Amino acid sequence: MSDQTPDTEQTPMITPSDVLEHVWCPRFTWFMNVQNIPQHEDKRFKVLKGREVHQRRATENRDYLRRKIGAVKREVEVYLASPSQRLRGIVDEVLWLKDGSMAPLDYKYTEAPDTVFKTHETQIVLYALLIQSVYQQPVTRGFVAYVRDGSQLLEVDITDERIARARWLIGQIFDIIRTGRLPARTSSRLRCEDCCYKNICV
Ligand code: SF4
């Protein structure tokens, strides 16, 4: 695999999780990267992560999902880094499809919604951007498998608009890091109630 700029040691890169936190509230980016105040993960989060790992093992052999998608090859838990997109992350599965394109597949251990949750859509688009950039292959679709209580496979179209929004979000994050500018608060004040920064966020 290759990316146009191979200096993964030197180029600052962020992860899809960083982007999702930024979407949740742009001030997370500022507290973590400008003020260097990390979020503290509470016990509940760790318990959830442990459960997720257990559930992941139980779903590793879901070959029928990949057959349904039309995948001819897959790699599991793939670390990808794209200095040109300033993005790095681990993709649950990278798939090679019959039509010559590639696609990310991500497992979610929540009940299946009617349509892909917006945060999951953003995450899949970021994975698609990574795959496109690293493998230099077309990525027109991504997939989210909701595997709690059975499984439901939902597809995400990887459109130019979605890729452009993902790049724009990455640009916003690096602008905050570069300038140190304090961004606006989240538009949903409900999010502040459980926020670990609420006592220092003015
Ligand atoms: S308290 Fe609210 S505005 Fe401040 S960082 Fe937390 S979620 Fe964002």
Amino acid of residue 78: V
Give the integer Cα–Cα distance in Å for 13 and 33.
12
What domains does the chain contain, in order, with CATH numbers? 16-192 (3.90.320.10)
Structure tokens at 106: 């991500």
What residue's CA is closest to ligand 1, atom 5?
27
| pLDDT category of residue 67 using cuts at 50, 70 and 90 | confident
Q: Does pLDDT of 57 surpass 80?
A: no
What residue's CA is closest to ligand 1, atom 7?
192
| pLDDT category of residue 55 using cuts at 50, 70 and 90 | low
- Whether ligand 1 lies within 6 angstroms of the CB of 201 is answered as yes
Classified as helix, coil or strand, 154 is strand
- Whether ligand 1 lies within 6 angstroms of the CB of 97 is answered as no
Residues 6 or more apart whose Cβ sits within 8 Å of residue 77: 90, 91, 92, 93
- In the block, tokens 């220092």 appear at 200
Q: Tell whether pTM > 0.85.
A: yes
CA of 185 to the centre of ligand 1 (A): 6
Q: Does pLDDT of 167 surpass 50?
A: yes
What does residue 20 show for φ and ψ, rounded to 5 degrees? -65, -40
Residue-level pLDDT at 43: 45
CA of 59 to the centre of ligand 1 (A): 35
Q: How far apart are the first and last CA of the chain?
A: 45
The answer to whether 80 touches 89, Cβ cutoff 8 Å, is yes
CA distances for 134 relative to 18, 95, 165, 181, angstroms? 19, 13, 19, 31
The answer to whether 76 touches 93, Cβ cutoff 8 Å, is yes
Mean residue pLDDT across the chain: 88
- Whether ligand 1 lies within 6 angstroms of the CB of 186 is answered as yes
- Whether ligand 1 lies within 6 angstroms of the CB of 158 is answered as no
Distance of CA 190 to the CA centre of its chain: 23
Percentage above 90 pLDDT, the chain: 71
**Residue 17: its H or E element:** helix 16-24
Residue-level pLDDT at 59: 56
Residues 116-166: tens digit of each pLDDT: 999 999 999 999 999 999 999 999 999 999 988 778 899 999 999 999 999
